[in-house]
Amino acid sequence: MGLLDYRTAGESHGAAVVVLIEGMPAGVPLDVDKVNAELRRRQGGYGRGGRQRIEQDTLEVLSGVRQGRTIGSPIAARITNRDYRIDEAPPVHRPRPGHADLAGSVKWLTTDCRETLERASARETAGRVAAGAIAKCLLDEFGIDVVGFVVQIGSFIAHADDGLSADELRKARDANEVYCPDRTVVKPMTDTIREAKKNKDTCGGIVEVRVLGVPPGLGSCWRWQDKLDGRLMQAVGSIQAFKGVEIGLGFGCAERPGSQVHDEIDYDAAQRDRPSLGFVRRSNNAGGLEGGMTNGQPIVLRGVMKPISTLLRGLDSVNLNTKQAERSDYERSDVCAVPAASVVAENVTAFEIARALLEKFAGDTLGEVRAAYDYYVTTARRLGANPDANE
* Neighbouring-strand partners of residue 146: 211
- What is the band of 4 on the pLDDT scale with cuts at 50, 70, 90? very high
For 15-46, how does the pLDDT look when each residue is reduced to its tens digit (9 = 90+)?
999 999 999 999 999 999 999 999 999 999 99
With a CB cutoff of 8 Å and minimum separation 6, the contacts of 187 are none
Residue (of 364, 357, 373, 307) closest to 47 by Cα position: 307
With a CB cutoff of 8 Å and minimum separation 6, the contacts of 18 are 8, 9, 10, 76, 77, 78, 79, 127
- Whether pLDDT at 53 is above 70: no
Other beta carbons less than 10 A from residue 49's beta carbon: 18
For 58-81, how does the pLDDT look when each residue is reduced to its tens digit (9 = 90+)?
999 999 999 999 999 999 999 999
H, E, C per residue of 233-250: HHHHHCCCCEEEEEECCH
C-alpha span between 352 and 275 (Å, rounded): 18
Residue (of 135, 2, 143, 140) closest to 70 by Cα position: 135
Distance of CA 60 to the CA centre of its chain: 21
Identify whether the C-beta of residue 209 lies closer than 8 Å to the C-beta of residue 147.
yes
Q: How many CA atoms lie within 13 A of 305 on its CB side?
A: 32
- What is the band of 355 on the pLDDT scale with cuts at 50, 70, 90? very high
Cα 67-69-72 angle, rounded to 5 deg: 120
For 79-134, how does the pLDDT look when each residue is reduced to its tens digit (9 = 90+)?
999 889 999 999 999 999 999 999 999 999 999 999 899 999 999 999 999 999 99
Identify whether the C-beta of residue 294 lies closer than 8 Å to the C-beta of residue 376.
no
C-alpha span between 127 and 73 (Å, rounded): 18
- Whether pLDDT at 389 is above 60: no
Identify whether the C-beta of residue 11 lies closer than 8 Å to the C-beta of residue 119.
yes
- What is the band of 56 on the pLDDT scale with cuts at 50, 70, 90? confident
C-alpha span between 299 and 216 (Å, rounded): 11
Identify whether the C-beta of residue 213 lies closer than 8 Å to the C-beta of residue 275.
yes
**Overall average pLDDT of the 138-162 stretch:** 96
Tell me the pLDDT of the chain averaged across its residues: 94
Identify whether the C-beta of residue 131 lies closer than 8 Å to the C-beta of residue 19.
yes
Other beta carbons less than 10 A from residue 108's beta carbon: 11
Sequence-ordered alpha helix ranges (H) in the chain = 32-43, 51-54, 101-107, 114-120, 125-140, 166-173, 186-198, 228-237, 338-360, 366-381
Pairing of strands 145-153, 156-157: antiparallel
3-state secondary structure of 359: helix
CATH code of the domain occupying 90-248+286-360: 3.60.150.10
For 316-341, how does the pLDDT look when each residue is reduced to its tens digit (9 = 90+)?
999 999 999 999 987 767 899 999 99
Residue (of 290, 289, 270) closest to 280 by Cα position: 270
- Tell me what pLDDT residue 52 has: 61
What global pTM score does this model have? 0.95
Domain ranges (residues) in the chain:
90-248+286-360
For 241-267, how does the pLDDT look when each residue is reduced to its tens digit (9 = 90+)?
999 999 999 999 999 999 999 999 999
Residue (of 33, 35, 27) closest to 64 by Cα position: 27
- Tell me what pLDDT residue 383 has: 86
